[in-house]
Amino acid sequence: MRVLVTGGAGFIGSHIAEFYAKNGDDVTVFDNLSRDNLLGKGYGNINYNWNYLGGFERIKRIKGDVTNFEETKNVAKDNDVIIHVAAQTAVTASLTAPQTDFATNALGTFNVLEAARISETNPAIVYTSTNKVYGDNINRAKVVEGANRYAFDETFKSGVSEDFSIDRCEHTPYGCSKLAGDLYAQDYSKTYGLKTGVFRMSCIYGTRQFGVEDQGWVAWFTIATLTEKPITLYGDGKQVRDILYVEDLVRAFDSFIQRNTALSGEVFNIGGGAENTISLLELIALLEQLTGKRSPISYRDWRPSDQKVYVSNISKARQALEWTPKVNPMEGVKKLVNWVSKNKSLFN
Ligand SMILES: NC(=O)c1ccc[n+]([C@@H]2O[C@H](COP(=O)([O-])OP(=O)(O)OC[C@H]3O[C@@H](n4cnc5c(N)ncnc54)[C@H](O)[C@@H]3O)[C@@H](O)[C@H]2O)c1
């Protein structure tokens, strides 16, 4: 199988590329290595995943930009599968640079879909959407407050499912640009018969994740704890997310790809689900348990459209993809702690 991974030098993309290369497939990674520029900060190791993937014979690396249609069309033309991961990924950066966010996420996704439409191979396409498409509507769901966490009340105790409203609320520019791609991916299936699958992802975490304060919070808290940097909590730290280890996510994508004709145009909420939730305060406590360290914590105001609780209802993915998360937060965070511990010099 020929697999194209846009944004393949990023955290999730690098795991997808590795998975298919190890599976014996021919993988092309297409990335403009812009993560640090887009976020306005990073660790100066933008080439780390790129270089890591260079060690795989079956991975071809191409530097290029999904906002450039000609480049995207050329790289997309001969593939059986396209996994579109390239994006501007931070809500905060979308608020200060909405035009770049729109170009990267909305136009970039449109270009990938359009390139797939005119390709002669009729590829299966995975689009990596986000829980942020539900925007502030999530905050209308009732929550109950515990000592260290919020939780949905009974109504949403199994989490948020795919039919939850996306309308009539604030989303932030990131939520809008990702939703534009989400709707286009669905529509290109309905209108042109493209074999697209939309995955509205909650928090994904794992090794090779260069988390910063604005994006990738599980990795950021781990890095901060191990490198003894302070952590700022926006809000009260009781926010809860269902977290999913990256290798579990990749298995879900692969399951869709195996069934792409039957599931074309479908949307899946995907995360750790109700059994794999953690609050910010609980993660800090878990990291202290695992490392014996605790970063100094300070508190600031809530950030725009932050969701007090987001938990994916993963019933549809479980059933249609015959998939279930295998790595729980304790195991997954341990793997991340081990990786950061071995690579501390990357985070100075
Ligand atoms: N990590 C999460 O928890 C999470 C949650 C929900 C959705 N997502 C989505 O998953 C995808 C991947 O996220 P990630 O955490 O791996 O982020 P990442 O920043 O590590 O990876 C994104 C990659 O895209 C590349 N890129 C950016 N603009 C590009 C462009 N114009 N052309 C080509 N490449 C470009 C970047 O250089 C980077 O390598 C994104 O679409 C994001 O919106 C992630």
pLDDT in tens, 308-335: 999 999 999 999 999 999 999 999 999 9
Single-letter amino acid code for the residue at 143: V
CA of 127 to the centre of ligand 1 (A): 11
Ligand 1 center to 142 CA (angstroms)? 31
Amino acid (1-letter code) at residue 289 = Q
Q: Which amino acids bring their CB within 6 angstroms of ligand 1?
A: 6-7, 9-13, 31-35, 38, 65-67, 85-87, 89, 104, 108, 128, 130, 178, 201, 203-204, 216
pLDDT at 326: 98
Rounded distance from Cα 154 to ligand 1 centre (Å): 34
How many A from CA of 260 to the centre of ligand 1? Answer: 23
> To test the ligand 1 pocket, which listed residue (12, 73, 182) has its Cβ within 8 A of the most ligand atoms?
12
Catalytic residue among 174, 188, 205, 310: 174
Atom of ligand 1 nearest to the CA of 89: 43
| C-alpha dist (Å) from residue 65 to 2, 33, 144 | 20, 9, 44
The per-residue pLDDT for 44 is 86
- List, for residues 201-222, the tens digit of each pLDDT value: 999 999 999 999 999 999 999 9
Instruction: For residue 81, give the nearest of 16, 22, 125, 26 by alpha carbon.
Output: 125
Of ligand 1's atoms, which has the minimum distance to the CA of residue 49?
A: 39
Q: Are 7 and 33 in contact (CB under 8 A)?
A: no
Q: How far is the centre of ligand 1, averaged over its atoms, from the C-alpha of 64 (Å)?
A: 14
Give the model's pLDDT for residue 23: 98
> What's residue 348's pLDDT?
81
**Nearest alpha carbon, ligand 1 atom 29:** 86
The residue contributing the CA closest to ligand 1 atom 26 is 86
Instruction: Please report, as a single letter, which amino acid is at residue 23.
Output: N
What confidence score (pLDDT) does residue 306 get? 87
Q: Bridge partners of 204? A: 244
For ligand 1, atom 42: residue with the closest CA: 89
Ligand 1 pocket: which of 16, 39, 89 to mutate (most atoms within 8 A of CB): 89
In the chain, % helix, strand, coil (3-state, to 5) comes to 45, 20, 35
Q: Is 174 a catalytic residue?
A: yes
pLDDT, one tens digit per residue, over 217-255 is 999 999 999 999 999 999 999 999 999 999 999 999 999
Identify the pLDDT of residue 143. Answer: 97
Residue with tokens 């932030």, as numbered in its chain = 172
For 260, list phi and psi in degrees, rounded to 5.
-60, -35
Domain ranges of the chain: 2-347
90 C-alpha to ligand 1 centroid (Å): 9
Sign of the alpha-carbon dihedral angle for 317, 321, 322, 328: negative
pTM (two decimals):
0.99
List per-residue pLDDT tens for the chain, 348 residues long: 999 999 999 999 999 999 999 999 999 999 999 999 999 989 988 899 999 999 999 999 999 999 999 999 999 999 999 999 999 999 999 999 999 999 999 999 999 999 999 999 999 999 999 999 999 999 999 999 999 999 999 999 999 999 999 999 999 999 999 999 999 999 999 999 999 999 999 999 999 999 999 999 999 999 999 999 999 999 999 999 999 999 999 999 999 999 999 999 999 999 999 999 999 999 999 999 999 999 999 999 999 878 899 999 999 999 999 999 999 999 999 999 999 999 999 998
Residue with CA at minimum distance from ligand 1 atom 9: 128
Please provide the CATH number assigned to the domain covering 2-347.
3.40.50.720
